[in-house]
Amino acid sequence: MNKDSKISPLEVCFLSSFLYRSFYIIGFFNLIIKISKEDSIFSIIISSILGLMILYGYFYINNSLPNHNIFNKIKKTFPKIISDFLISILIVIFIFISGFVLYNLSIFIKYNLLNDISIIPISILLIIAVMYISSKGINTITRVSGILIFIFILFVIISFISLINYSNPINIYPLLTNNFFNIYEGSIYSCILSVTPIFLLLIIPKVKIEKNSKYHKYMLITYIVNYIYILISFILVISILGVKLANIINYPDIVVLQKVSLLHFIERIEDLLSFKVMFDGFIFLSLATFYIKEGINNLFNIKPNKTTIMVINIFILITSLYLRIVNIKIIVYLLTIILFIHCALMLFIRKK
What is the full per-residue pLDDT of the chain (352 aa) written as tens digits? Answer: 345 578 888 889 999 999 998 887 777 777 888 888 778 888 899 999 999 999 999 999 998 888 899 999 999 999 999 999 999 999 999 999 999 889 888 888 877 777 777 888 888 999 999 999 998 889 999 999 989 898 888 878 877 777 777 777 777 776 667 778 888 888 999 899 999 999 999 999 988 888 777 888 899 999 999 999 888 888 888 887 777 777 766 666 666 666 555 444 444 455 556 677 788 889 999 999 999 999 999 888 877 777 889 999 999 999 888 876 667 778 889 999 999 999 999 988 864 4
Asked whether residue 162 is domain-assigned, the answer is yes
Asked whether residue 37 is domain-assigned, the answer is yes
Cα gap 192→202, rounded to integer Å: 17
For the domain that residue 192 is a member of, what is the CATH number?
Answer: 1.20.1740.10
pLDDT the model gives residue 128 = 92
Asked whether residue 195 is domain-assigned, the answer is yes
**Residue partners of 303: CB distance under 8 A and separation at least 6:** 297
Segments forming the whole domain that contains residue 317: 9-349
Q: Is the dihedral of CA 236, 240, 241, 242 positive or negative?
A: positive
Distance of CA 272 to the CA centre of its chain: 20
pLDDT the model gives residue 1 = 38
Residue of 9, 337, 61 lying closest to 196 (CA atoms): 337
Q: Is the peptide bond before 79 cis (omega within 30 degrees of 0)?
A: no
Asked whether residue 49 is domain-assigned, the answer is yes
Q: How many domains does the chain have?
A: 1
What string of DSSP letters covers 174-190? SPS-S-HHHHHHHHHHH
pLDDT the model gives residue 47 = 92
Q: What is the pTM of this model?
A: 0.89
Asked whether residue 52 is domain-assigned, the answer is yes
**Residue partners of 19: CB distance under 8 A and separation at least 6:** 197, 198, 200, 201, 280, 283, 284, 287
Asked whether residue 4 is domain-assigned, the answer is no
Asked whether residue 332 is domain-assigned, the answer is yes
pLDDT the model gives residue 255 = 62
Cα gap 116→305, rounded to integer Å: 37
Looking at the DSSP assignment, which residues form a beta bridge with residue 7?
209
Residue 58 Cα distances to 34, 202, 203, 282, angstroms: 29, 8, 11, 22
Asked whether residue 98 is domain-assigned, the answer is yes
